Amino acid sequence: MHEFSIVSGIVERVLEFLETEKVSRVTTVRLAVGEFTFLEAEQMRFCYTAITQETGIEGSVLDVETVPATVTCPHCHYQGRPKYWDDALAFTPMPTLQCPTCGKAAEAAQGHECTIKSIQFVR
């Protein structure tokens, strides 16, 4: 569960923002999380709630926006959605770095980010 360590870092950044900007209350933290990170939004929210207890951002909401995965193939010049691995053992279809057109290795163009998009707050 790497969500815990990722969310811990995000909470640290938000608490730094709270202190440096003299914010009285944070209401919502919005994230952009790419499909290639394989981070589960529900687990991230659970970790966020647990980590923020007894902090200056307790009670705030973590809003996770999924950024779709896209790839670029240097072999056939395909640009678009990647090939997805859909196996009975997988919880959901998982994006791969395989070109859906030629089957060769592609490069991630989008979907590997995990960033804070915005912080809603009250001064």
CATH number for the domain spanning 84: value is 3.30.2320.80
Look up the domain containing 16 and give its range.
Answer: 3-122
pLDDT band at 50 (very low <50, low <70, confident <90, very high): very high
- Which pLDDT does position 1 carry in this prediction? 59
- Which pLDDT does position 87 carry in this prediction? 67
Environment class of residue 31 by beta-carbon count within 10 Å: exposed (0-12), middle (13-18) or buried (19+)?
buried
Domain total of the chain: 1
How much is the pTM?
0.85
- Which pLDDT does position 89 carry in this prediction? 58
- Which pLDDT does position 79 carry in this prediction? 97
Count of CA atoms in the C-beta half-sphere (13 A) of 99? 15
Do 79 and 72 contact (CB within 8 A), yes or no? yes
pLDDT in tens, 5-44: 999 999 999 999 999 998 889 999 999 999 999 999 999 9
The fraction of the chain above a pLDDT of 90, given in percent, is: 83
- Beta strand 94-95 with 61-67 is unpaired
